[in-house]
Each structure stands twice: as structure tokens, then as C-alpha cells.
Amino acid sequence: MGRAASDKRERLVAAAARVLHEQGVEKTTLADIAKAAGVPVGNVYYYFKTKDQLVEAAIDAHAEGLRGLTTALDAHGGPTERLKALVAGWVDQRELAARFGCPFGSLASELDKRDDGLDRAAAHVMEELISWAEKQFREMGHDTDARELAIALVASYQGAALLTNTLRDPDVMWTQGQRITAWIDSLADHRAEEVSA
Amino acid sequence: MGRAASDKRERLVAAAARVLHEQGVEKTTLADIAKAAGVPVGNVYYYFKTKDQLVEAAIDAHAEGLRGLTTALDAHGGPTERLKALVAGWVDQRELAARFGCPFGSLASELDKRDDGLDRAAAHVMEELISWAEKQFREMGHDTDARELAIALVASYQGAALLTNTLRDPDVMWTQGQRITAWIDSLADHRAEEVSA
DNA sequence: GTCTATACGGCGATAGAC
DNA sequence: GTCTATCGCCGTATAGAC
């Protein structure tokens, strides 16, 4: 595989991730993606055998982006700061969420209607996010309910993103982000209180 | 319009609401809905001019179902009990949520990708739910932040439903329902504490 | 490797018999 | 009012020229 080939493939995947977010999986045609990537329609099949494979590549791109984010967060601060930074990143994307919802959540929601492997691929990415958050809560001293808290965190965000989108109001995400941040802070006291007690 | 006509119309709408939830809007064909309703395919157009009008009728059915639920809840107990009963109802549907997500949330999420009026129709139903919850919080003495709390409640549920669906695990909804219920209880103390203080 | 032209199937919607 | 047959479009996927 040559250099130019990889370049077009990357452009297709990047365009797919963006357009699938904006339009949804079922409404998006290969022509839409090809046009956004600046690639002739029929040529898509040189890089991807089916539309589903292109969707899967877009999911993988989300997975890599998530890994890049969590790796960057792992480099600085403590678990509480890392979780709050995660939320802050979500709040920063509130304008996008108001227009199209959470880039990955709306994708997962749509893929969940399917029986093929694509729904499980999306589930795996979501699981990675939850696991990372779970690890942070465990570091904060929440040994027994770390996973429950991680799910509560991600659920709060996903629900806030859905309402932000449905109500077309970025302020919803901002307000809920404040709530979630305060909630994380209240959990940060957990170990400190036990230690000082 | 005769009796038989209304009957078929109702069957079509009921089938549409169910199949749209299970398969999603874009993946569902008129043939799927007609088959589920026991009505010949082409005959659908006697009752609905377009597919979108049938989807809109399904949204209206959700709206009426919601109104029936809130009306029933209004008849008993105080605002705290009503909100907890609402959550309990969601938890009871956790098996369905694990398979297909929240019946209305997944619909709203998909319709949000569209420009036509259907997305606003879904938004209106979501707004009704939020407004009802807001009223309950206001009755509980949360005058200033009732709407913020109502959005937090609905968002928590919608996010929990999304993760329940993605992870294919009804226990997620059960656990998060417990959390939300405890949270409502903690808010119920609000006015009592202020009064007793 | 890249792109054009086209085959093929499916779905929304219509026409018209009964 | 009810149902069948069918049209026309569009989207995926393929064949094959360059």
C-alpha cells in the first residue's frame, strides 16, 4: 500500500466520522462521505469492501481519539482533576452537541438497533471510557462502587448531550457540566474525610 | 370516517411506535410497519400521506402515553413520591431498554439529525416531561433551580437507558435507578430542613 | 491504483381495479 | 374504503477502462 492510498483512506475515515455524526448512519450515503472527503464515489470500494466497514473504521477512529485523550489526561494531576478535565472537554463541545449530539453517543444509540458486530464495536469503545473513569474513581478511594460511579458519570454526560441536542440549547450542557463537576468534587472528599476521621 | 377505518389507523400507529423503537426510523420500512399491524402495504397511504406523517403519529402516541402517565401520577402522593414512581416505572422497563433503549429517547436522538419538523415534535414531548418534573421539584420547595433539577433527572435516565442498551445490561438501569431515587430523597429533605431549621 | 459507467435491489409513493 | 400491481428514484456495489 502506497503513501497516496493511505492518505485517501484517512481522509475517508475522517470524513465518515464527521458526516456520520452530523447525519446519522442510515441517512448518510457513501456519496455524502466521498464528497466530503474529496474522493470519487466508486473509488471508496477500493479501500472499503462495504459501507459497514467504513462505519467500523469511523468507530475505530473514535476509539483512537478517546485513547489519545485519556492518555493525555493520565499525564497530569490527580484522578479528581482528570475527571473534571474530561467533563470540561465535554462542556467545551456543547455547541457541537446542541447541533448533533455527542459524536459517539448518538452513533452508539443508532448502532444499538443492529444485530451485526457494529453495535458491539461501539459498545467496546463505550466500555473503554467507563473503565478509564472507573480507574479514576478507584484511585480516589471508591473501591467498592467505582464502576457504578463511572457509569453514573458517563450516563449523566450522555443524557445531558441528548437533551442539549433535543432542546437545541448548549446552556443545558454547561449547567449540567457544572452539576457533574460539583458532584466529582463531593466524591473527592470521600477518602480525605475517611483519612482525617 | 367509519369505525373500521379508525381501528386500522390505530393499529398502524401502535405498530409504528413499537417497530420504530425496535428498529429505528431510517431502517424501518412501511412494509415492516404494515406487516406488524396486519395491514396491506399500499393501504397505509389511505391513512397517511407519507411515511413522515406516520412517524409523527407515533410521536403523538408517545405524547399521549406520557400525558396519561403523568395524569395518573398526579392523582396520588406528594411530588417526591410521584418522581420516585416515575423512576420506578423506568426501572421496570429495563429489559426493554437493554434491548432497544428508551422508547422515546432513541427516537428523539435519531430525529434530531433531521431538519424537518419531526425533530421539533419530538422535542416538544421531551419538554412536556421536563416541565412536569420541574413542577414536582418546585412543589418540593426548589423554586430557583427546579428546571435544572428536572433536566438533571431526565438526563440521568436517558443516559442510563443509553448505557443499559449499549452494554446490553438491564442491571445498569436498576443500579442507576437506585442512585436517582436516593438523589430525589435527598432533595425531598430540602424544604423540611429549612422549615425545621 | 484511480476513476466512470452501470447493474441490481429495495423502498416510498401512485394508479386504478374492486 | 380496501387492496394489488407497479412506477420511479436512489443507494450499494460491481465491472472494467485507463
Res. A5: pLDDT tops 90: no
Res. A197: pLDDT tops 80: no
Burial-class residue A176 by CB neighbours within 10 Å (0-12, 13-18, 19+). Answer: buried
Tell me how far CA of residue A84 lies from CA of A58, A155, B64, in angstroms: 27, 15, 40
Tell me, what's the pLDDT at B193?
54
Burial-class residue A91 by CB neighbours within 10 Å (0-12, 13-18, 19+). Answer: buried
Instruction: Provide mean pLDDT across the span A23-37.
Output: 97
Residues of B engaging A, defined by a Cβ cutoff of 8 Å: 22-27, 100-101, 105-106, 108-110, 112-114, 119, 122-123, 126-127, 130, 148, 151-152, 154-160, 162-163, 165-168, 172, 175-176, 179
Tell me, what's the pLDDT at A43?
93
Contact present, A33 and A77 (Cβ < 8 Å): no
Q: What is the pLDDT of residues B93-104, one digit of tens each?
A: 999 999 999 999
Res. A192: pLDDT tops 90: no
| Structure confidence at residue A191 as a pLDDT band (50, 70, 90) | low
Tell me, what's the pLDDT at A2?
47
Interatomic CA distance for residues A34 and A16, integer angstroms: 8
| Structure confidence at residue A195 as a pLDDT band (50, 70, 90) | low
> Which residues of chain B are modeled with pLDDT < 50?
1-2, 196-197
pTM over 0.85: yes
Tell me how far CA of residue B12 lies from CA of B9, B26, B32, B107, B176, in angstroms: 5, 17, 11, 17, 34
Between A7 and B119, the more confident residue is: B119
Cβ of A109 and B163 within 8 Å?
no
Q: Closest nucleotide to A52's CA, by C1' atom?
A: D12
Res. A3: pLDDT tops 90: no
